[in-house]
Structures are given as structure tokens and as C-alpha cells.
């Protein structure tokens, strides 16, 4: 998945009100960018960090920049836009690039299910049980090489686990897919200390038949795509 508009480098001044970030462009101008990430962004929103913004000229948008990447300035990147994983994963699913799900020939995004919820992807194929795929963007890393989820308490995520478990009980496949938007991690774990309720709900869901997949990403200012190898957990 390539970014629609070439990204421009900037330095972060501050992130505030969750969805806003003041930044300094290379020419010295200060701009406010939209931050499409409702999480805590622990370790990713320090003043002075090098970041990458996507400009836009859409008249309906008040903010003319969107914050897409953190550049760790050591060859590694983190993708901070939580809408990107679904777009990148959809391309991978449609191309049959996720081996565990490659047999499915129909990929439908945002299908209603459960209690007033929408599953990220519903996969169907002849002779196969329907596969309900929920996607979570993973950006937290507190130890070298280890990615963790969540980075804050997520009641919504806990609800999704319960709904996936219900689908599994009905004979469908139910998959929680964690997409790690960091290029500096090769392992994954649940952040039990941050949200014990979520970790407990996941253990229960797994016993009830919910599958777990963890995939990494390849990230550059040009775009983000799903890596072809699973991460260890």
C-alpha cells in the first residue's frame, strides 16, 4: 500500500487532544496535523522526534496534513495511523499473501456482526467456514525487539474478543490478527500490565477457538505493506 501523496519530513512539537499534533516542517513552518491514533502512543510522541506527514488538498478537511510515520533515525520506522493496517491487509488478503487465509476467494470489509459491531474482514470461499478477521494495529515497544498490544486500556478490544468467540462457537473461523507497524520488532506479546482485562479476555477467547495471527510490516516513507513472515509470539 503506497501513500496517496508523497510524505514530507517534519519534527514533532507536541501531540494533544489525542488527534492533533503540532509539527515543524523542514522550511520552518509550523503546521497542525491530524493524528489518526486513539491510543496512548507510548514512546512515539516525544517532542523533537522526526516524523513524516502526508499533505492533502481536500477542501473538506480542515487539517492539511496527516501524521503517518515516526522515523527512529536508525533505519527503522513505526506507522502511527491506525487506519493503515486495514488497507495494507486488504491488499495482502486479496493477493492471497496471508498463507493461513489464502484459500478464501472473497474479501468483504466492514461487515456488520455481533452487537452493533463491524468485523474488519469477512472471508468466504466454496466449501470453507466463514472467517471473521479482526485487525489490531500494534505500535508499542518497551523492550528491544518486542512489540506489545494494547498501549492503553481498550474496552472496545475486549468486546471484539467476546464477539469473535461467539463466531467461533457458531462454527465459523474467528481470527484476531495483530499487525505490527514497527520495523524494529520480531516478537509479540500482550501487554498484560496495561490492560489485564484484555489479556484475560484473549485467553478465554483462545480457549473458545479464536485464532491468533501476528504479522509484521515493511515500512518506508513510500508506503506500508504486510511482511511475508509471521512474527514469533
Closest to 36 in 3D by CA, of 2, 56, 77, 66: 66
Output the pLDDT for position 232. Answer: 72
**Closest residue by Cα to residue 11 from 21, 1, 19, 2:** 21
- The predicted-structure confidence for 73-121, as pLDDT tens digits, reads as follows 999 999 999 998 899 999 999 999 999 999 999 999 999 998 888 999 9
Kindly tell me the sign of the dihedral angle through the C-alpha atoms of 59, 64, 67, 72: positive
Of the three residues 24, 45, 79, the one that is the final residue of a domain is 79
The domain in which residue 69 lies consists of: 8-79
Helices marked H in 10-135: 84-94
Last residue of a domain, one of 79, 111, 140: 79
Measured distance CA(199)–CA(140) in Å, rounded: 15
Query: For 120-153, how does the pLDDT look when each residue is reduced to its tens digit (9 = 90+)?
Result: 999 999 999 999 999 999 999 999 999 999 999 9
pLDDT band (50, 70, 90) for residue 205: very high
Q: Are 32 and 21 in contact (CB under 8 A)?
A: yes
Question: Looking at the 3D structure of the chain, how many domains does it have?
Answer: 2
Cβ-count burial 96-112 (b if 16+ within 10 Å, e if not): ebbeebeebeebebeee
Range in 45-54, 114-123, 170-179 with the lowest mean pLDDT: 114-123
Q: Is there a single domain that holds both residue 38 and residue 109?
A: no
Look at residue 61 in the predicted model and tell me its pLDDT: 85
Task: For residue 228, name the pLDDT band (cuts at 50, 70, 90).
Answer: confident
Amino acid at each position: 500500500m503506497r501513500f496517496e501523496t508523497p510524505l514530507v519530513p517534519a519534527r514533532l512539537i507536541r501531540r494533544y487532544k489525542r488527534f492533533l499534533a503540532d509539527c515543524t516542517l523542514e522550511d520552518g513552518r509550523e503546521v497542525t496535523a491530524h493524528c489518526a491514533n486513539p491510543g496512548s502512543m507510548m514512546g512515539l510522541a516525544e517532542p523533537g522526534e522526526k516524523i513524516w506527514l502526508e499533505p492533502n488538498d481536500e477542501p473538506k478537511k480542515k487539517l492539511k496534513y496527516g501524521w503517518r510515520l515516526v522515523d527512529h533515525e536508525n533505519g527503522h520506522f513505526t506507522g502511527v495511523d491506525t487506519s493503515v493496517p486495514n488497507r495494507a491487509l486488504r491488499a495482502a488478503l486479496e493477493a492471497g499473501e496471508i498463507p493461513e487465509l489464502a484459500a478464501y476467494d472473497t474479501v468483504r470489509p466492514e461487515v456488520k456482526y455481533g452487537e452493533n459491531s463491524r468485523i474488519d474482514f469477512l472471508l468466504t470461499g466454496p466449501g470453507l467456514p466463514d472467517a471473521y478477521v479482526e485487525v489490531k494495529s500494534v505500535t508499542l515497544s518497551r523492550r528491544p525487539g518486542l512489540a506489545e498490544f494494547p498501549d492503553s486500556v481498550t474496552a472496545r478490544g475486549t468486546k471484539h474478543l467476546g464477539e469473535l468467540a461467539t463466531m467461533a462457537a457458531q462454527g465459523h473461523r474467528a481470527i484476531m490478527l495483530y499487525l505490527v507497524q514497527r520495523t524494529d520488532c520480531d516478537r509479540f506479546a500482550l501487554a498484560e500490565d496495561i490492560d489485564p482485562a484484555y489479556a484475560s479476555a484473549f485467553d478465554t477467547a483462545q480457549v473458545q477457538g479464536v485464532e491468533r495471527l501476528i504479522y509484521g510490516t515493511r515500512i518506508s516513507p513510500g508506503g506500508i505493506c504486510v511482511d511475508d513472515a509471521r512474527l514469533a509470539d
